[in-house]
Amino acid sequence: MTLRFHRTVYAGTAIDAALQRFAHLANTTFERREEGDYFVVEVTSTTDARTKKIARELGNFALGLTIENGGANP
């Protein structure tokens, strides 16, 4: 599943921190890259349902960290 985080909404540091917190999940991989105005994260896990659940939780966590740290810095 591909997540696209716009730079005006999400802080790159928050996405990196979220990825570090989720890195321990078994049988799940994360690939981060940047495309224009977006941070892009590919999430892959054992089933489609698990992939969606983890991806959504990752997005929520990254948004929470962004807010907690004062917002995005585009």
Q: Is residue 61 part of a domain?
A: yes
The count of domains in the chain is 1
Residue 72 has pLDDT above 90, yes or no: no
Residue ranges making up the domain that contains 46:
2-67
pLDDT value, residue 73: 76
Average pLDDT, the chain: 96
Its sign, for the CA torsion 47, 52, 59, 34, is positive
74 pLDDT exceeds 90?
no
pLDDT digit string, tens, across residues 13-33: 999 999 999 999 999 999 999
Q: Residue 59 and residue 24: Cα distance in Å, rounded?
A: 16
